[in-house]
Amino acid sequence: MATKIRLMRMGKIRTPFFRIVVTDARKARNGLSIEEIGRYVPGQEPSLIQVNSERALYWLGVGAQPSAAVEALLKVTGDWHKHKGLPGTEGTLRVAALKPAKSVAYEAAVKQAMDEPKEGATTLKKKAQEKLAAKANPETAVESEPVAPAAVEETPAVSEPVEEIAVSEVSEPVAEIAVSEVPEEVTTTEAVVEAETSEAAAE
C-alpha cells in the first residue's frame, strides 16, 4: 500500500483550512484517512501550522511520502530536517502573538471609567448647558432676566385693540342684517300665501 502524507481541504469557499493527514494514495482527497497529524490555516497572518512532530517522523520513517505542499510545511517546522539529518532542525516557524484575554481588557476599561470625572461623563443638551452656565455665573443671569418681562408686557398692549376692533366691526353688521332681513322674508311669505288663496277663490 502506498501511504502518503497530504492535505485534506476543509472550510468554506475562499476561506479554507487544511488537515495534514496520512492516507492511502489511491483514496480521494477528502476520503478516508489513516491518521491526522496536523493542521494548516493559510488565511491568518502569520499562517497557522501545527504538526505533531513525533507522528510525522514516525510516518516518514516507515516510508510515507509527503506531497509537495506538506514537504514545504515540514521544512518550515523543521521536521523534514530532523528526518533527513540536516542542519536547521529548529525551523522557521513564526507564531502569532497571544491575544490578551477579554476579561483583562474589560477590567482595564472599567478601571478607566471609574477614574473619569463624573460631571463630564455625558454631553449635556443645549438648554441644560445654558442652565448650568446661568448657575455658575449669576451676574450674567440677572442681566438677561429683564429682557424677557419687557417682551411679555409689549405683547398684550398690541393684542387688546385688535380684539376690540374685531368685536365692534363684526358683531354690529350681523345684527343689522338679521333685523332688516327678517320682516322682508315674513312679508314675502305672507304675500305668496295671499296670492295662492286669491287664485283658489277665483277658480
Interval 93-134: pLDDT, tens: 888 888 888 998 899 889 888 877 666 556 768 888 888 888
Confirm whether 167 is domain-assigned: yes
For residues 202 and 129, membership in a common domain is answered with yes
Helical spans, DSSP H, in 62-146: 68-77, 79-84, 102-115, 126-136, 138-144
Peptide bond into 16 cis (omega under 30): no
Is the model's pTM score more than 0.75? no
Bridge partners, 5 (sequence order): 22, 66
For residue 28, what are the domain limits? 3-84
pLDDT of amino acid 140: 62
In the prediction, which pLDDT does 88 show? 82
In a domain, 150, yes or no: yes
Whether residues 59 and 131 fall in one domain: no
59 belongs to a structural domain: yes
pLDDT, tens only, 50-104 = 999 999 999 999 999 999 999 999 999 999 999 988 888 888 888 888 888 899 8
Answer with the one of 27, 60, 84 that is the final residue of a domain: 84
For residues 92 and 47, the answer to whether their CB atoms sit within 8 Å is no
Q: Are 21 and 5 in contact (CB under 8 A)?
A: yes
Q: What are the DSSP E strand ranges found in the chain?
A: 3-12, 15-24, 35-41, 48-51, 65-66
Q: How far is CA 60 from CA 50, 52, 63, 93, 179, in A?
A: 17, 12, 5, 20, 124
Predicted confidence band of residue 190 (pLDDT cuts 50, 70, 90): low
